[in-house]
Chains A and B, each alone.
Chain A
Amino acid sequence: MDKATTSKFVLRRRPTSEKLVDIGFKNIVVAMASMVAVVLFSIFAVVYYESTDSISKYGLRFLFSSAWNPVTDEYGAFTAIYGTLFTSIASLLIAIPLGVGTAIFITENIIPKYIRDVIGIMVELLAAIPSVVLGLWAVFIMEPFIRPFLNMIYEIFGFIPFFGTQPFGAGMMPAILILVVMILPIITSISKDSLNQVPSKLRQAAYGIGASRWTTIFKVIIPAAISGITGGVLLALGRAMGETMAVTMIIGNSNNFSWSIFSPSYTISSMLANQFGEADGSQVSSLMYAAFILMILTLMVNVFAQWVVKKLSLKYQ
């Protein structure tokens, strides 16, 4: 018995080289995984370190002043912060109904599946178009096309401060519209995925007790998918706040604060794209301060998005 096992099946002892390869490989992949943390922390540390001069010099005053004067060395990012928040939230308000509505339309069986699939793929391909191309399109095609409509709004509602200046080209409104185009695919595809994950049992139960299609959607399907939809919306908000190229090309880049959505404005990212190249001295540190604010804003939105998805998600077994 003993002889048989030893002669036919020999338990192999692992050679040291194999062990070394195993341990080495594990250490390498641990190091690579840590790179994420290293990069993330160094981004924060570097941007904070570069902006310390400005932070200590201007403090919180930086957030509420819209002065930007390299000659007198006076900097404030109020216009850019307001522009960032206003354009991203306004574009979100337009994109949520459009995106969620589209997601519902392509997850319900209203039209044949292949048409729905085509719409879904087309919306996702929209995300593949680089923002600089969207900016080019916005500058040469979209903005001249919508200008008469904006002028009409200005002539009728011009007494309201929000519409109080003559639209003459680049401005906040075209920037909002191009942001809608950019974040629509994010909201649509994430909403679509979370609507698809709602178990069909819930839908059948709702139909069974006599609910109509849209009662089912509003009272059963959307509440069940709300975590994913909210997560997608928050991700889109983060993307809209950090979006640079298309906005820079169409927003007009002016640091003069105005309530009007037709006047040129700034966002933090467009300010960076515009001025960083030729800035020096305390202007660099002020721009870094603005970049730091942008990072904190997007970080808060992204962390909140992950928290919401975890907290609100219903588990179906």
Chain B
Amino acid sequence: MNYPSKKSLTYNPSLIRNIWNKALTIISALFAIISVLPLILVISYVLIKGGSYINIDTLILEPEPPGDDLLSAGGIGPAITGTFIMSIIASFISIPVGVGGGIYLAEYSKSGKFAKFIRFGSNVLAGVPSIIAGVFIYAIIVSTKILFGSMFSGIAGGISLSILMLPTIIKTTDEALKLVSNDMRRAAFGVGASKFTMITNITLPAAFTSISTGILLALARAAGETAPLIFTALFSRYYITSFDDLFYEMGSLSVLIYNFALEPYEAQNQLAWAASFILVIVLLGLNILSRWIGTLGAFSKNKV
């Protein structure tokens, strides 16, 4: 018999295909490095440059009007509380509605026409640009002065953020509940539970970790959003002192960064960097927390 030489089974680096393989592997590695580079650059600039402007004064003082005093621009305190308050308002609206909608999709109508339409709708809503949410809230709440005659307000800002959180929460609730084993539902019905008891006592607790992962991710996205706030909550340099202040302009970290980055004064620019330091730390913290909760959920599922 005339076998081809044994050589064909050994690796020959000078073959065209092997050279191509090497080259393409190197190119893909290069692409991966280029993709990671922006994260490293942005994070390190924000941490180093922003971190260097952080002190007690920047954290608690109110920002001074630009150009007044070049030595001290004040601080970002009201912006931190503003972002916090508007995220809370957005959560109060979007968590019940989103979790409720997700319960309907997963527990009541798995593949009905209406459920399909709602799933499609929440995908579309997730793709609506955030600035459109701002324009929408401006048109129905700010310009109509429907909230007891107030125009720009923290509440309007919170509502516009809730529109951005809603699709994420619905989707993760829907998917988390679908992952709960049907055996648990049958067992609950078997011992005489009503559907309401079954959902609130069995499936929701079982899906709790995945749902909270989704909520945290939605919250992290909303807290960093600027576009919906620039003409709903506008900006304010002052702390809120009473409940009534919710109905007036409210500052936020993201709008502070946008406004102060474009100021020609160095002191304001420094405040923008300090604000982005706080914002990035909080958002990365939320993301890592949600990842950690996600791994907890996977762990308990394996045990069950």
B302 within 8 A of A: no
Contacts of A215 in B (CB 8 A): 17
Are the CB atoms of A288 and B118 closer together than 8 Å?
no
* A20 to B, closest residue via Cβ: B196
Contact of B123 among A14, A29, A99, A302 (CB under 8 A): A302
As a 0/1 sequence over residues 235 to 251 of chain A, the CB contacts with chain B under 8 angstroms (1 = contact) are: 10011011111001100
Contact of A30 among B104, B231, B257 (CB under 8 A): B104
Are the CB atoms of A50 and B128 closer together than 8 Å?
no
Query: What number of A residues sit within 8 Å (CB to CB) of B?
Result: 89
Q: How many A-B residue pairs have CB under 8 A?
A: 254
Q: How far is the CA of A77 from the CA of B178 in the complex (A)?
A: 45
B279 within 8 A of A: yes
B163 within 8 A of A: yes
As a 0/1 sequence over residues 149 to 189 of chain B, the CB contacts with chain A under 8 angstroms (1 = contact) are: 00000000000000100110010000000000000000000
Q: How far is the CA of A149 from the CA of B190 in the complex (A)?
A: 71
Q: How far is the CA of A238 from the CA of B124 in the complex (A)?
A: 10
List B residues 36-51 near A (Cβ within 8 Å). Answer: 36, 38-43, 45-46
A119 within 8 A of B: yes
Are the CB atoms of B129 and A269 closer together than 8 Å?
yes
B265 within 8 A of A: no
B71 within 8 A of A: no
Are the CB atoms of B258 and A132 closer together than 8 Å?
yes
Contacts of A184 in B (CB 8 A): 35, 38
Query: How many Å from the CB of B21 to the closest CB on chain A?
Result: 5
As a 0/1 sequence over residues 86 to 125 of chain B, the CB contacts with chain A under 8 angstroms (1 = contact) are: 0000000000111011011101100000110110111111
Are the CB atoms of B195 and A22 closer together than 8 Å?
yes
> Which one of B61-69, B135-143, B205-213, B240-248 is at the A interface?
B135-143
Query: How many Å from the CB of B103 to the closest CB on chain A?
Result: 5
List A residues 102-146 near B (Cβ within 8 Å). Answer: 102, 104-106, 108, 110-111, 119, 121-123, 125-126, 128-137, 139-141
18 contacts between A and B (CB under 8 A): A30-B108, A32-B100, A32-B101, A42-B140, A43-B128, A97-B31, A101-B32, A102-B32, A105-B32, A126-B39, A128-B220, A130-B225, A130-B254, A133-B42, A242-B128, A272-B135, A302-B127, A305-B127
Pairs A-B, 10 closest by C-beta atoms: A242-B129, A130-B224, A32-B100, A101-B31, A302-B127, A29-B104, A33-B101, A244-B227, A33-B104, A105-B28
